[in-house]
Amino acid sequence: MMSPRDLAINDMTMREAARAASGARVDLLLIAEMVKPGSRVLDVGSGDGELLELLATTRGCDARGIELSREGVNAGVARGLAIIQGDADIDLADYPDDSFDYVILSQTIQATRRPKWVLDQMLRVGRHAIVSFPNFGFWRMRMDLLLNGRMPSTDNLPYSWHDTPNIHFCTIRDFVALVEEIDARIDHAAALNGNGTPVRFNLPWAVWNLLGEQAVFLLSRKG
């Protein structure tokens, strides 16, 4: 298995954290930083369009979204964003190959029914995929389960186990294993600690897996 040290990681500095204080979510800023200005982007699970707006205004992107919830779509379209009401588990199949430079899945992979299929489709439809997700290997999750013996719930993941859209949790190491299984390449990775600040050093996955509350990966097709 690769380690973050094998990657040319452009270590996320406090700069992004500082910008996060200006309003936008840190993970969204991290994602926006990974996107080349002026590119074509599809955001899968775009909510009410916060990331789409960020990409359009700060990176000059042609940014489009798919969102499952009717409220999210309607709010986003009313803001003038190109969002369609649809289901990542089904609708990605309709997009032609290479129709986007980046396909983004932000805090959504754990809510898909077929994460592997979705990831495959993302790398078919886009030349790059960017995936951010809550790391179930985060130490507080582990402590919760170890000490309380209850399914963990955090500020980011407030749902109870029986009433949650999140059906496919994974850890950073699980995700890296999936990336290897679909034969994709990790171009870039970042982890955010419990304070929402990026983990600064290139440490082995095992350490990120413990310290990272969230992770962001930039993937590409091999070859």
Partner 1 sequence: MMSESDTVIPESGAQASANSPRGEDTAARREADHPHSAVVTFGADKPLRLDAGGVLTPFQIAYQTYGTPNAARSNAILLCHALSGDQHVANAHPVTGKPGWWETLVGPGKPIDTDRFFVICSNVLGGCLGTTGPSSMNPATGQPYGLDLPVVTIRDMVRAQSMLIDHLGIEKLLAVVGGSMGGMQVLQWAASYPERVFAAMPLATAARHSAQNIAFHEVGRQAVMADPDWRGGRYLAEDTAPRRGLSVARMAAHITYMSDSSLHRKFGRRLQDRDGHTFSFDADFQVESYLRHQGEAFVDRFDANSYLYVTRAMDYFDLAADYGGVLANAFKGTKTRFCLVSFTSDWLFPTQDSRAVVHALNAAGASVSFAEVETDKGHDAFLLEEPELFAITRGFLDAAARTVGVA
Name the site residues for partner 1 (rule: CB under 8 A). Answer: 62, 64, 70, 73-74, 77-86, 91, 94-96, 99
Smallest gap from residue 14 Cβ to partner 1 (A): 35
Smallest gap from residue 62 Cβ to partner 1 (A): 7
Smallest gap from residue 110 Cβ to partner 1 (A): 25
Helix (H), strand (E), coil (C) string for 147-160? HHCCCCCCCCCCCE
Smallest gap from residue 24 Cβ to partner 1 (A): 20
Smallest gap from residue 43 Cβ to partner 1 (A): 13
Q: Which is nearer to partner 1, 74 or 197 (CB)?
A: 74
Smallest gap from residue 86 Cβ to partner 1 (A): 7
Q: Which is nearer to partner 1, 35 or 42 (CB)?
A: 42
Distance from chain centroid for Cα 3: 19
- Amino acid 200 reads R
Taking the CA of residue 159 as centre, how many other CA atoms within 13 Å lie in the half-sphere pointing to its CB? Answer: 10
Q: Which is nearer to partner 1, 29 or 104 (CB)?
A: 104
Helix residue ranges per DSSP H, the chain: 14-20, 26-34, 50-59, 70-78, 88-91, 115-125, 139-143, 172-181, 205-211
**Distance set, CA 106 to CA 14, 112, 189, 206 (Å):** 21, 12, 14, 22
Beta bridge partners of 217: 131, 189
Q: How many residues does the chain have?
A: 223
- Give the phi and the psi of residue 19 in degrees, each rounded to 5: -65, -30
First to last CA, the chain: 19
Q: Which is nearer to partner 1, 1 or 84 (CB)?
A: 84
* 3-state secondary structure (DSSP) of residue 35: coil
User: Which tokens sit at 56?
Assistant: 């359009």
Q: Which is nearer to partner 1, 94 or 181 (CB)?
A: 94
User: Which tokens sit at 4?
Assistant: 């973050």
Q: Which is nearer to partner 1, 84 or 177 (CB)?
A: 84
